[in-house]
Structure 1
Amino acid sequence: MRLAAFRPVAEPGGPPRVGLVVGDGPNWWLHPFPAGTDLVELLAAGTAEREAAADAAARGDGLRPEQVRLLPPVYPVAMRDFLTFEAHVAGVGKGMQGHEFVPPEWYAAPSFLFMAPHAVTGGYDDVAIAPDTERFDYELELAAVICRDVRNAGPEQARAAIGGYCVMNDWSARDVQGREMKLGLGPSKGKDFATTVGPWVVTADELDDCRDAGGFLDLRMTVKVNGEVTGSDRSGNMGWSFEQLVSYASRASWVKRGEILASGTCGSGALAEGWGRTGELIPRPLQAGDVVEMTIERLGTIRNRIVAGTESVPAIVPARRRVREEV
């Protein structure tokens, strides 16, 4: 089942709605649920209850793609981005260390960073280039939407907390990110301006037939820039399953309904990986006018046009340098 958040084009100032996506390819229909329906509550509902609600929605009139603006499926209460693809770690490591380097600490536990939940954008929204960057990049990721609160969750409890999956683009300003990470912090301003999630959420039960022998979701992941394939991988190459990610995040801590947990960038899923391996900015960094398209098998496609930033941002003030006096 595919569940989307949207606004009708005819009601741009209206409240967000939730709809059932029916049909494949570009010719889908969106059948609205009753006003006030909460997408995360639908994910948490029992299968029979959710299917009954979907059947009722499908009997109503549907909307065509041109009649709606797709919103982020959820406005998350928190976001965590993991680092689960060994190939990506190796490629970026070459740029930082001079060789394809995977630190032993990576194997020890599924590390993650917290993201800016207020920065999410819809699957077809324009995305403005971040300020102060000359190395604007995309990151192709698989993301899970949490539908139940969990703490100290084992694998089975963690699996029941995952309501569904979607495509994610963790946009990055690589030069800003690099400056921050030299101090052992961040990335923060290198990533807090936009994260695209969408185009909708596919319920977890729909993907049970996509698991490999180890229980990992194994879905084809592809990214294109201006129609040309620039990277691809499979989610089955993750070092940890999503159940293991949720379990780790919940150790002595709450993972709350409405959170998004992401896989981290897949192998060849970012330009920076190629830059690290070759030492050159080839392919070139993203520019205004580029269109980035990401597809994950069974989940759909997000497509975003990059535009020039138009916001007036305050200047960065460097730290004052103090002369220390001897005591």
Structure 2
Amino acid sequence: MRIARWTPADGTAPGEVGEGFVIGDRVVAFPDGATVADILAGGQDAARAAFSRVKGEAGTALGDVHLLAPVVPASVRDFVAFEEHVEGVSAGVEGKSFVAPEWYEAPTFYFTNPHTILGPGDAVSPPVTKRLDFELEIAVVIGDAPGVGDANLTTEDAASRIFGYTIMNDWSARDVQAREMKVRLGPAKGKDFGTSLGPWIVTADELDEYLDADGFLAIRAEVRVNGELVGEDLVSNMGWPFPELVAYASRNARVRAGDVLGSGTVGNGGCLGELWGRGSTLPALHEGDEVRMTVEGIGELTGTVGPIVEAPALPPARTRSRARHR
């Protein structure tokens, strides 16, 4: 099953959002006005029951709608699960390829902004930057599962909480990111201005055939900039399979229906930062550039670069007295 959100392509009903299934070349709304959030809360059983009720309906031609991000995330965690990506980016930042021993100990992630989510075809509005980049990722969308909790999940229980998969583009301003991470915190403003998701959620059962013997998704992921292939990898080159990412996220915390967990950038050119670290002279992204990501079994997500948005200036930190009394 493919699950999506959309608006009419002709703009006749601004603010009207449809939510439902993509069936062949049409979209069909969920029954009884249900939303994606409702379906995720009901889990795979709710999705199958809803699909059986509406699969025969005419719906609306896919070409007559504009797809939105397929979920309004409750939260967004983004991992760094591809060793090759870490090797390439570290070479660009530190002058040599390096993977910290701590990377192998646990699947590290950061939280990004769930309020700047973009959908298929949407333009990103970056901050002032000379090093705008994309990041090709696959994300899981969390749903509920009968009898399975939210916290300290086993890998098996975590697998049952994976409702489906979508493509994720973690837009990045590398120069902003590099500055703020020297403070040993972040990334923050180098990332949180835009994350693209789409084109839809493919339910987990649709990708079961691609799981290898170790539980990794052996699907091909590619990224093109202005039509030129610049990166490609197998998602099974991750350091951890997706259920282990979900299980780690739930340690002494909670994962809830609607949470999105990104894999981190694939290797072999999944972002310009990695390619720059390996000596590539490809330019940073500029206004008007198109980034098109294709993932086997899921679909295609396209995003464009819009104009830079300059935020109001802030002063630097004040150097003040450290007196401990008034």
Pairwise TM-score range, normalised by the shorter structure: over 0.9
Indicate conservation of the 8 Å contact 1:120/1:197, yes or no.
yes
Indicate conservation of the 8 Å contact 2:199/2:300, yes or no.
yes
For 1:318, the equivalent position in structure 2 comes to 316
Alignment map for 1:170-189 (pairs within 5 Å): 170-189=170-189
2:85 to 80, 83, 88: 88
Unaligned 5+ segments in structure 2 are none
For 2:129, the equivalent position in structure 1 comes to 133
For 2:301, the equivalent position in structure 1 comes to 302
Indicate conservation of the 8 Å contact 1:174/1:272, yes or no.
yes
Q: Output the TM-score relative to the length of structure 2.
A: 0.92
Q: Output the TM-score relative to the length of structure 1.
A: 0.92
Displacement after TM superposition at 1:323 (Å): 5.8
Unaligned 5+ segments in structure 1 are none
Partner Cα separation in structure 2 for residue 57 and residue 308 of structure 1: 41
Indicate conservation of the 8 Å contact 1:17/1:36, yes or no.
no
The 3-state SS of whatever aligns with 1:132 is coil
Displacement after TM superposition at 1:46 (Å): 6.1
Cα distance per residue 1:249-301 (max 9 Å; x no partner) = 111111111100010000020000011121x6x21000111110001101100
The 3-state SS of whatever aligns with 2:59 is coil
Cα distance per residue 1:219-276 (max 9 Å; x no partner) = 1000000100010111100001111011111111111111000100000200000111
For 2:261, the equivalent position in structure 1 comes to 261
For 1:154, the equivalent position in structure 2 comes to 154
For 1:143, the equivalent position in structure 2 comes to 139
**Aligned AA (1:245):** L
Partner Cα separation in structure 2 for residue 17 and residue 121 of structure 1: 16
Determine what percentage of the aligned residue pairs are the same residue: 47
For 2:107, the equivalent position in structure 1 comes to 110
Partner Cα separation in structure 2 for residue 15 and residue 317 of structure 1: 41
Indicate conservation of the 8 Å contact 1:2/1:203, yes or no.
yes
Partner Cα separation in structure 2 for residue 12 and residue 178 of structure 1: 42
**Aligned AA (2:66):** R
Displacement after TM superposition at 1:155 (Å): 1.1
Indicate conservation of the 8 Å contact 1:222/1:294, yes or no.
yes
**Aligned AA (1:16):** V
- Flag the 1:120–1:48 CA change in 2: closer, same or farther, 3 A: closer
Indicate conservation of the 8 Å contact 2:31/2:50, yes or no.
no
- Flag the 1:35–1:312 CA change in 2: closer, same or farther, 3 A: farther
**Aligned AA (1:284):** P
Alignment map for 1:1-327 (pairs within 5 Å): 1-9=1-9, 10-23=11-24, 28-34=25-31, 36-45=33-42, 49-128=46-125, 130-148=126-144, 150-267=150-267, 268-278=269-279, 282-309=281-308, 311=309, 313-322=311-320
Displacement after TM superposition at 1:79 (Å): 0.7
Partner Cα separation in structure 1 for residue 56 and residue 133 of structure 2: 42
Displacement after TM superposition at 1:95 (Å): 1.4
Partner Cα separation in structure 1 for residue 7 and residue 32 of structure 2: 11
Alignment length, in residue pairs?
A: 319
Partner Cα separation in structure 2 for residue 212 and residue 81 of structure 1: 23
Indicate conservation of the 8 Å contact 1:180/1:188, yes or no.
yes
Displacement after TM superposition at 1:45 (Å): 3.9
The 3-state SS of whatever aligns with 1:159 is helix
**Aligned AA (1:320):** R
Indicate conservation of the 8 Å contact 2:31/2:53, yes or no.
no
Partner Cα separation in structure 2 for residue 3 and residue 66 of structure 1: 16
**Aligned AA (2:270):** G
- Flag the 1:135–1:48 CA change in 2: closer, same or farther, 3 A: closer
The 3-state SS of whatever aligns with 2:115 is helix
**Aligned AA (2:101):** P
The 3-state SS of whatever aligns with 1:74 is coil
Partner Cα separation in structure 1 for residue 313 and residue 44 of structure 2: 52
Indicate conservation of the 8 Å contact 1:218/1:234, yes or no.
yes
